[in-house]
Amino acid sequence: MSEFVVHSIPGSPFGRSVMAVLEEKGAPWRLAPIPQGGLKTEPHLSRHPFGRMPVLEHDGFSLYETNAILRYLDRILPTPSLTPADPKAAARMDQVISISDWYLFQGVGNVIGFQRVVGPRLMGLTPNEEACAAALPQGEVVFRALGGLLGDRPYFGGDAVSLADFMVAPQMDFLAECPEWAKLSAGAPQLGAWLERMNARPSLKATTWPALNALAAAA
């Protein structure tokens, strides 16, 4: 199996989703850190015309969009499968991935998670309190929806972990560090226990920000 190369940076939740799935699969991979200021310039723009991350390179094949990358990995590395066999459970997985893309990241993760965690750590940013407060109502809706979909099951797809869990966990992990977490999770307390379950997995332990910093420094 040829090596998988992930163009990303240690603070990217989408990048972590990809690297955690590679770890779950036991695949050979390496982080190719995108240099500061490199997202919107060449050579990265040739890999990702929207100037974002992550990008996966494998066997002469280059792919961006995390959802597509995770599905590609699950197809070519079928063991362990991260897609439920049951069509209804698979549909729930797809639904949660979509919620993560459209409502959790857009408007919540990219505001509260960015203002409170990523921006301060990467750029020394002072959090914009108004922006965080304005993002809270959408966050509460997202948390109630995800909490309802998780229900009393261990994972979004049911009894076994699936791609949906790896899409959501890195986003939630940042939000759990924020003062907004108490309000966000009030309507969905089971998400806290789910996140602890996810964070206990070796794949997420291997892809924490400090762990990826060490890989980036060695790259």
Residues of this chain that interact with ligand GSH (CB under 6 A) are 12-14, 39, 51-53, 65-67
CB 54 within 8 A of CB 33: no
Of 34 and 198, which has the nearer Cβ to ligand GSH?
34
Query: What is the closest distance, in whole angstroms, from the C-beta atom of residue 7 to ligand GSH in the complex?
Result: 10
Q: How far apart are CA 83 and CA 19, in angstroms?
A: 17
Query: What is the closest distance, in whole angstroms, from the C-beta atom of residue 68 to ligand GSH in the complex?
Result: 8
Query: What is the closest distance, in whole angstroms, from the C-beta atom of residue 65 to ligand GSH in the complex?
Result: 5
Of 14 and 156, which has the nearer Cβ to ligand GSH?
14
Query: What is the closest distance, in whole angstroms, from the C-beta atom of residue 39 to ligand GSH in the complex?
Result: 5
CB 97 within 8 A of CB 90: no
Q: Which two tokens stand for residue 87?
A: 């069509």
Query: What is the closest distance, in whole angstroms, from the C-beta atom of residue 2 to ligand GSH in the complex?
Result: 22
Range list of H helices, the chain: 13-25, 44-47, 66-76, 87-99, 119-123, 129-150, 163-175, 181-186, 190-199, 202-205, 209-218
- The residue behind tokens 């940042």 is 174
Of 62 and 186, which has the nearer Cβ to ligand GSH?
62
- The residue behind tokens 């698979």 is 90
Of 37 and 87, which has the nearer Cβ to ligand GSH?
37
198 Cα distance to chain centroid = 12
Query: What is the closest distance, in whole angstroms, from the C-beta atom of residue 56 to ligand GSH in the complex?
Result: 10
CB 14 within 8 A of CB 65: no
Count, residues in the chain: 219
Of 66 and 115, which has the nearer Cβ to ligand GSH?
66
Of 171 and 203, which has the nearer Cβ to ligand GSH?
171
Per-residue CA distances from 128 to 11, 42, 125, 137, 174 (Å): 19, 31, 9, 16, 16
